[in-house]
Amino acid sequence: MSQTDVIAKLFGSRSRVSILKLFLIDYRQQYRVNEVARKAKVNKRLASTELKKLVDIGIVLPNKIGKTVFFHINQSSFLVQPLKEIFSDHDWHEWERPSRIHHLIMTLEAGLKPMKDYYGICLPNLYNVFDYDNVTIFLKISEFRDVGKRLIPIYLKNKKKVWDDFHKFAATFSHCKDYSSFYEQYIEFWKVAYITEPVSFYIDSLLKPGEHITIQEKSFTDEYENLLWKYAKEAEKKGIRNIDVEPILINYFWIRNSYYGVHQLTEEEIITEIKAKMHKVKKKAVIIPSPISLSSELIQIGRDMILMQDIRKKYMMKAAYYLHKHLKSIGNEYGISPLLMEQTVPSEVLNYKKILPKLKEELSLRLRSCTVITSLKKGVQVFSGQKMFPKGISKTSQIEVRGTVACGGKGVGRAKIVKNIDEMYKVNHGDIIVSPMTSPDIMPAIRRCVAIVTDFGGITCHASIVAREFNIPCIVGTNNATQKIKDDDLIEVDANNGVVRILKQ
């Protein structure tokens, strides 16, 4: 079979293409089956099947470490180079995490002009696509690695200053009395701390499959876990209710916080964790050998980045508590809940007296979906209610159309644009009618649909009256539904909230 035929066969499965992209975009990494499934967004059984086929072809190789099998790209395969060329326009890495808008965007702001002023180099462009309480960050692997490579000599020359400034700024923002001073100090902290991502991306690209860099210093999570093990041993002797967990509550109240929000650790949660460790033996840490493919200088820089990132995460978790407090205080002045305040961006809060009173409706829209694009040239761009993906990403922007609720409920189905009686034939059972406005002439189609969406009309129009009579979810007065939605788009009509979402075009 020729090279062309083999490549054509590889592209015969969408799941296989997703897995190939994962390996080829970050071709020095190796993954377990469940990691492949999660990162390539395919189910685990299908991922396992496709990996077996790729191993049989010889483009992916298995690597057994202990009892675990990892998979990595076979860089000597004759298929790798042509596939790299095919995927060269898709050098986007997807990084998913639970997050709300404000905290994450505040840190990314620091990675633009403030980082540029400090290091002379800043973060590349980023797409941050928020979907309720989750964000997918799109970044160019090649750009991040290039930034990391350029940052290394700057770091080596100014290492002492970088670490001194990192610790100095980390100690300040917990004492800030208002949002503006907190914002200023937090930006100062992150403009220094954002060096870890690009440098780590670059150093990781130099490692051979199976190689890892580790540090000897205990992370804050190790310290917390060791404390729980210590208390578990005491509880075995004294009884769980005779253990004083107050020191943990005081010193680690922040350990459940994240970009997603705050959760103050409770006594019952600590006791539950201690109980889970009682009468058990703590596993010994696995010793991972140092890489042999890097110089000792690069290995040390890698360790520095891991250590800084760990300390940074601790301060990020603490900062989440203070940020929440400041946002809540400002929101209370305008009757805006803490949840909606977390959908703001820093510039809106810094000018809250002028901006916030007009922003409440838009924040509710962002709560469902939003895209924030960050770049040095344009700063922070916010697109409320839209999911916009970078060029080369094979995803459909999930645009939302909003209107007035005529009859509540939810419906999912294929859209059928019905502008007159001659188009009524398109509507099958389970479809959704999208029309400028309905009339009695299309009643046979309405009886077959699961929801109705119109450009025009109010709660007394024909579509509203009929929808309530048949109890069909209905949204009217969208103004542009027939322009945004096309025939056979898979759409969701959320008539409880007045939103129509295009799920798949």
Of 1-10, 148-157, 250-259, 494-503, the range with the highest mean pLDDT is 148-157
Regarding pTM above 0.75, the answer is: no
Q: Hey, which residues does 405 pair with through a beta bridge?
A: 475
The residue extents of the domains of the chain are: 3-90, 95-213+292-305+331-384, 220-277, 400-504
Architecture of domain 400-504: 3-Layer(bba) Sandwich (3.50)
- The H or E element spanning position 8 is helix 3-10
Q: What is the pLDDT of residues 25-59, one digit of tens each?
A: 666 678 888 888 877 777 888 888 889 888 888 88
Tell me the pLDDT band of 415, cut-offs 50, 70 and 90.
Answer: very high
Q: β-strands 134-140, 126-131: how paired?
A: antiparallel
CB 244 within 8 A of CB 227: no
Mean pLDDT of 231-253: 92
Measure the CA–CA gap between 398 and 130, rounded to whole angstroms: 11
Tell me the pLDDT band of 8, cut-offs 50, 70 and 90.
Answer: low
Of 100-114, 195-209, 446-460, 471-485, the range with the highest mean pLDDT is 100-114
Measure the CA–CA gap between 325 and 156, rounded to whole angstroms: 38
**What totals of helices (H) and strands (E) does the chain contain, helices first?**
22, 16
Q: Report pLDDT for 133.
A: 80
Pick the CATH number of 3-90 from 3.30.1330.10, 3.40.50.300, 3.90.79.10, 1.10.10.10: 1.10.10.10
Q: Report pLDDT for 159.
A: 97
pLDDT at 188 over 90: yes
Q: What is the pLDDT of residues 63-97, one digit of tens each?
A: 887 778 889 888 888 887 777 666 654 567 777 78
Q: Report pLDDT for 494.
A: 87
b (16+ CB within 10 A) / e for 413-443 = bbbbbbeeeebbebbeeebbbbbeebeeebe
Of 37-51, 156-170, 470-484, the range with the highest mean pLDDT is 156-170
What is the DSSP secondary structure assignment for residue 426, as one 8-state letter? G
Q: What are phi and psi of 391, to 5 degrees?
A: -60, 130
Q: What is the pLDDT of residues 210-225, one digit of tens each?
A: 788 888 888 888 899 9
The mean pLDDT value of the chain amounts to: 88
Q: For residue 212, what are the CA distances in angstroms to 207, 293, 296?
A: 7, 10, 13
Mean pLDDT of 463-485: 89
More confident residue, 76 or 155: 155
What is the DSSP secondary structure assignment for residue 286, as one 8-state letter? P
b (16+ CB within 10 A) / e for 23-48 = bbbbbbbbbebeebbebbebeeebbe
Order of strands, sheet of 92-98, starting from the edge strand that comes earlier in the sequence? 92-98, 134-140, 126-131, 369-375, 379-384
pLDDT at 262 over 60: yes
Total length of the chain:
505
Q: Report pLDDT for 85.
A: 62
What is the separation of C-alpha 218 from the centre of its chain, rounded to a whole number of angstroms?
27
CB 40 within 8 A of CB 22: yes
Q: Report pLDDT for 3.
A: 61
Domain 3-90 matches domain 400-504 at the CATH topology level: no
Q: Report pLDDT for 417.
A: 94
Measure the CA–CA gap between 485 and 451, rounded to whole angstroms: 14
